Amino acid sequence: MAERTFRVWRGDKTGGKFVEYKINVEKGMVVLDVIHRIQAEKSSDLACRWNCKAGKCGSCAMEINGKPKLGCMTRMNTFKEDEVVTIQPVKTFPVIKDLVTDVSWNYEQNKRIAPFKPGPRGKDGNHRMYQRDVERVQEFRKCIECFLCQNVCHVLRDHNKKDKFVGPRFMIRLASLEMHPLDTGDRIEKIKNEYGSGYCNITKCCTEVCPEHIHITDNAIIPLKERVVDRFFDPLAIILHKIFGNKKT
């Protein structure tokens, strides 16, 4: 057991500051354990979201020494022994209190996306899909909605274009629908015009922070951009479109 120093941002939407806590750290502890210890021993009103404490629910997203991470999956032995650990809320969403931010914008984006629309079942009453065909969709469905990708996306974080781009989380949601073997919906036009696929400039910051290691850029965003290009920028498709009108290509 060793005493370690933590700087935790305390405040609300009107402002705040870093508060220093000295906490005894034991073997195996993660940053979320430190937060709980602060709550139990020093400051029971320190606000922080958490649920599963095993990297499965995505509630405890925060910025630890400037890096967006899950508090429950960040082990204390990944820091130097005398390193001061700074903990602050994610930057892209408005602070409610301490480490808790208002992520409701994300829930609003999901509502804008046309839901799954399956084709008819087979004669035996079953849908048939093969493992090799569902694997790429299953990768996207590993998403735990921690919104760390939304937090680091330049379009949302630095340029605050939340009215233009739904962000990486919902690009993979869209990819999971568009690539679903049973889905019959068509969201390509909206991906270009309403969800803002063109705003992503493929810096892959989202992929880097994903705790589920989803290849957000390579496997979801780039293929969706390609589908948009095929539909709207392919010369042959455009000529056909002019001749035959607004048919699915």
The residues binding another protein (CB under 8 A) are 12, 26-30, 33, 39-40, 43-59, 73, 75, 96-98, 100, 103-104, 107, 110-111, 115-116, 118, 125-131, 134, 137-138, 141-145, 173, 177, 180, 183
Smallest distance, another protein to C-beta of residue 23, A: 13
Residue entry with tokens 């993979």: 172
Smallest distance, another protein to C-beta of residue 1, A: 11
Q: Which CB, 40 or 238, lies closer to another protein?
A: 40
Smallest distance, another protein to C-beta of residue 180, A: 7
Exposed / middle / buried, residue 163 (Cβ in 10 Å: 0-12, 13-18, 19+): exposed
- Round to whole Å and give the CA distance between 231 and 186: 11
Token pair of 16 as six digits: 């705040």
Q: Which CB, 142 or 159, lies closer to another protein?
A: 142
The torsion angle over the Cα atoms of residues 65, 67, 73 and 75, rounded to 10 degrees, is -30
Smallest distance, another protein to C-beta of residue 233, A: 30
- Round to whole Å and give the CA distance between 166 and 5: 38
Q: Which CB, 162 or 180, lies closer to another protein?
A: 180
Smallest distance, another protein to C-beta of residue 44, A: 3
| Helix ranges (DSSP H) in 11-143 | 31-41, 104-112, 131-140
Q: Count CB neighbours of 199 within 10 A.
A: 16
Q: Which CB, 47 or 237, lies closer to another protein?
A: 47
